[in-house]
A and B are shown apart, each in its own frame.
Chain A
Amino acid sequence: MTPRLDTIRECLEGVIPGHIATCDAEGIPNLAYLSQVQFIDNEHVALSYQFFNRTRQNILAHSPVRLMLTSHLTGAQYRLTLAYLRTETAGPLFEQMKAKLAGIASHTGMSEVFRLLGSDVYRILAIEQVPGPTVAPPPPVVNYLTALRRATGRLAGCGNLERLLETALDCLGSEFGISHVMLLMHDEGRGRLYTLASRGYPQSGIGSEIPVGAGVIGICARERIPIRIGFMTSEYGYGRTIRDGVEADGQGDSLETAIPLPGLPEARSQMAVPITAFDRLLGVLYLENVADLNFGYDDEDALVAFAAQLGLAMHHHQEAEELVEDAPGVEGSTPAPAGPPLLVRHFAANDSIFIDDDYLIKGVAGAILWTLLTDFVERRRTGFTNKGLRVDPRIRLPSVSDNLEARLVLLQRRLEERAAGIHLKKTGRGRFSLSVDRPLQLVSG
């Protein structure tokens, strides 16, 4: 029986290098080792093109191609017959392979040597298992179908965006066994991603930012494809070094750098999965682990399927919060807070907010908070609606597609995390209230 490629994908991870055999026009064979084979589908693979060597010359001279792959889990060997189709030098496939190759290069001491020049795409004509003994693979850590079934069921039961995000991260831990994860939202207008939730880190990093295109997370967002790296590589860090580079490029004024990104300094395995809905990028799930090769193709498939469910649910809740509006509840008169005033300072240049001289947030979330606090102080207003904020000229929301509800969740969490004494609370669909522990003193500039 011919094995399906999707059942033997561990052979493609680069633990045991593949062998590629070609033939020149005179019938002289050539044999070389391969760093990387990328699964595209059951009929196609891509091989890394790194050097213009004899293999490359033979392929361009229409050589038939044989590939030998070996499973590092079972010892099974496979021979694949391939036909070259094309070379891609940019785009999602290229970026996936480039990132993965960076990990492999680093792992094999080849960081200065391996550089992806292209992704050679081949059609698979045949797969043959080489006769010989094999060992039983280690049992899977997780049954992904069960995890997906349970997780999507739990997502479906969430009544609002905040609950949805909490449940999503809970599911990644309890159903998928993932211990370090961040959820970042896409700020389309500014070409940024901001952390909205995380698990497994000493500091949540809520509000921290990374530019689209930077590191594993940023490239995942730009290309809207999963990026997965199995070995530690400095080339694809996502932390402070990347942000330092961005600041040096002169973009730093708009990037949130006061809030540190969470992250494992010793992460060896990284995976970023885009969250999309209806062709729009909503955010990125980022997972990491200190072990080599912790995430494989099956993990990637499961997380992509999970992210698809999550994306649709996020889209639904965002729409619902802005289109539907519950009737206002009866607002009881709350006693005016007592005690020394809380000094809230706003800098209009970047909408940054400081509370008692401690930095809280900036940007759109800062503008939202300043608007709420101004209305609270000037008009004793405590009830607000998403619809109202959307059209409020003081906030200047980037566009209708911007996820306002996500920004409210960010603001609410940041306030709670800083124990700022200012609270936002949902009071119904599309509706929330503001309360304060102490009197406010607002200062501009």
Chain B
Amino acid sequence: MLDSDNAAFILTGVSISLASCNPGRLPSMSRGLGCKLIDDGRQVTIFLRRSQSEALLENIRSSGGRVANVFSLPSSNRTLQLKGSNARIVPFAAEDIAVIDGHIADFVLEVVPLGMSEAVVRAILAYQPDDLVSVVYSPSAAFSQTPGPKAGAPLG
């Protein structure tokens, strides 16, 4: 589902957002602090702050793991949406802190040249290690959402 180009893309300094809906179709979403690919790229792990994601995590549980996940690179507007229907919430693995810190560093390098305040960016992505949680899913669909006439086109 995820070709090597898009697999590499989501590991760069992209902004990450994850959403899921409650039984009444009301969605909730949170910013991701980074991601990693596991299972030979067949599964995506997104790192979230539990304190910011209570409704999202509840929606993931109640919807049977239906998620929408967007990755967007501010400097190019390149945007990718993945969807999954088997998302599960797993404890955060301490060794993944390095992935998060690497992602934050990449994101700062991406947006500070665009005029963003580094202090603000770091506040947006600030975390407490014991607040972290991981969501793992297998992408079942991918869409280009780069703005333009082809936005929304399915990939792969």
Contact = CB atoms under 8 A, between A and B. Distances in A.
Contacts, number: 129
Nearest to A56: B152
B123 A27 contact: no
A64 B26 contact: yes
Given A31-B17, A109-B77, A114-B147, A131 B70 contact: no
A292 interface: yes
Interface string A7-30: 000000001110101110001111
A18 B123 CA distance: 17
Nearest to A51: B151
Interface residues of A, number: 45
Interface residues of B, number: 46
B28 A133 contact: no
B69 interface: yes
A108 interface: yes
Nearest to A112: B148
Contacts of A135: 117, 119-120, 123
Contacts of B83: 28-29
B21 A33 contact: no
A68 B29 contact: yes
Interface stretch (B36-44, B60-68, B88-96): B60-68
B129 interface: no
A108 B17 CA distance: 20
Contacts of A29: 19-21, 27, 63, 66-68, 83
Contacts of B29: 19, 21, 31, 66, 68, 79
Which of B27, B70, B152 counts the most chain A CB atoms within 10 A?
Answer: B27
B138 interface: no
B116 interface: yes
B31 interface: yes
Interface string B15-58: 00111110111111111000000000000000001011000000
Interface of A: 15-17, 19, 21-23, 27-33, 35, 50-51, 53-54, 63-66, 68, 70-75, 77, 79, 81, 108-110, 113-114, 130-135, 292
18 contacts: A17-B72, A21-B29, A27-B21, A27-B63, A30-B19, A31-B17, A31-B27, A51-B149, A64-B24, A68-B17, A70-B124, A74-B120, A75-B119, A75-B121, A79-B29, A133-B123, A134-B123, A135-B120
Interface of B: 17-21, 23-31, 49, 51-52, 63, 66-70, 72, 77, 79, 81, 83, 85, 115-117, 119-124, 126, 143, 145, 147-149, 151-152
